[in-house]
């Protein structure tokens, strides 16, 4: 789809135009969903929710239960990213009622429950995820839960398996796999230098806010704070509205001694998602 190609290529205005053309020629819920996600990406939360509600209404009339469930999951993700845990839980439950057992949606539900402090319920889901999907990402989610409850030996075992699996998958050069591999290496302090090398390579390929932010985070984890700030500043050109990007940029600014920027970014992060520190941590 041309709009998606423009989006992944960083040509955001062209993507926006394509999505609205899709809507005008009757593409229905698919175009409405993309317009909603576009608005959410650029900070128009009210518009994003309104368009996603319209997409759900349209899909209920002419799409499958799975399609409607997907839209509820997308809406849950929008609410979750902004710290509205109750609304996120309501929508992810609607999604799973329509399409039970979809693993990424179960993972999102577990994350929402964790943020709400319902760790016993979230841990039950995290335990099931690696049994339902072979993707190493779900092992890292369970490893995080194990760490939080003090089961460090099991967490270490899960992470080592996940790293080996990511290593094999990364040979396919799929960006989303490589990025999760980098996050795994950094989050569990496995190999910071390798993560930095991979993040640098990703930034040469993509050159968008998320690639620069990931490179900045890798520099930050390697305690190269000035380089981290230089990298994240490239991603922050314009008005960044992704809550995780802004939160992590505030940590980088603080470490780099950019006091004024730290204050601005910290305040913006709190406005975008008051639960950012709980959700994304250090």
In a domain, 216, yes or no: yes
Residue finishing a domain among 31, 63, 95 = 63
Q: Report the range out of 2-6, 18-22, 35-39, 180-184 with the highest average pLDDT.
A: 180-184
Q: Can you give the CATH number for the domain in which 40 is found?
A: 1.25.40.10
The pLDDT assigned to 197 comes to 95
Same structural domain, 238 and 279 = yes
Q: How confident is the model over 34-53, as a mean pLDDT?
A: 86
Using alpha carbons, select from 192, 188, 239, 197 the residue that is nearest to residue 220: 192
In a domain, 183, yes or no: no
Q: How many domains does the chain have?
A: 3
pTM of the model: 0.84
Q: Can you give the CATH number for the domain in which 236 is found?
A: 1.25.40
Residue pLDDT, tens place only, 84-99: 999 999 999 999 999 9
**Helices (H), ranges, 116-224:** 119-132, 136-148, 152-170, 175-187, 192-206, 209-221
The pLDDT assigned to 263 comes to 95
Element (H, E) at 91: helix 85-98
Same structural domain, 220 and 279 = yes
Under 8 Å between Cβ of 273 and 251: no
pLDDT bin (cut points 50, 70, 90) of residue 238 is: low
In a domain, 249, yes or no: yes
């Amino acid at each position: 789809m041309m709009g998606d190609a423009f989006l992944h290529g960083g040509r955001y205005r062209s993507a926006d135009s394509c999505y609205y053309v899709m809507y005008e020629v009757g593409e229905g819920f698919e175009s409405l969903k993309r317009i909603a996600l576009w608005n959410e990406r650029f900070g128009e939360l009210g518009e994003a929710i309104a368009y996603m509600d319209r997409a759900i209404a349209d899909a209920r009339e002419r799409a499958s239960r799975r399609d409607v469930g997907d839209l509820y999951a997308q809406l849950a993700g929008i609410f979750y990213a902004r710290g509205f845990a109750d609304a996120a839980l309501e929508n992810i439950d609607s999604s799973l009622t329509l399409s039970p057992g979809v693993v990424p949606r179960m993972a999102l539900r577990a994350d929402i429950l964790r943020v709400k402090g319902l760790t016993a319920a979230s841990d039950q889901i995290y335990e099931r995820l690696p049994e339902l999907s072979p993707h190493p990402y779900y092992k890292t989610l369970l490893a995080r839960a194990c760490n939080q409850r003090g089961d460090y030996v099991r967490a270490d075992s899960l992470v080592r398996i996940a790293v080996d699996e990511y290593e094999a998958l990364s040979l396919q050069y799929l960006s989303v796999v490589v990025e999760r591999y980098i996050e795994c290496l950094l989050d569990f302090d496995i190999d910071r230098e390798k993560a930095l090398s991979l993040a640098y390579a990703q930034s040469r390929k993509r050159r968008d806010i998320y690639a620069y932010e990931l490179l900045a985070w890798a520099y930050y984890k390697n305690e190269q704070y000035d380089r981290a700030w230089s990298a994240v500043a490239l991603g922050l050109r314009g008005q960044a509205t992704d809550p995780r990007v802004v939160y992590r940029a505030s940590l980088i600014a603080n470490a780099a001694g950019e006091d004024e920027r730290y204050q601005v970014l910290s305040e913006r992060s709190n406005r975008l998602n008051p639960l950012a520190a709980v959700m994304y941590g250090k």
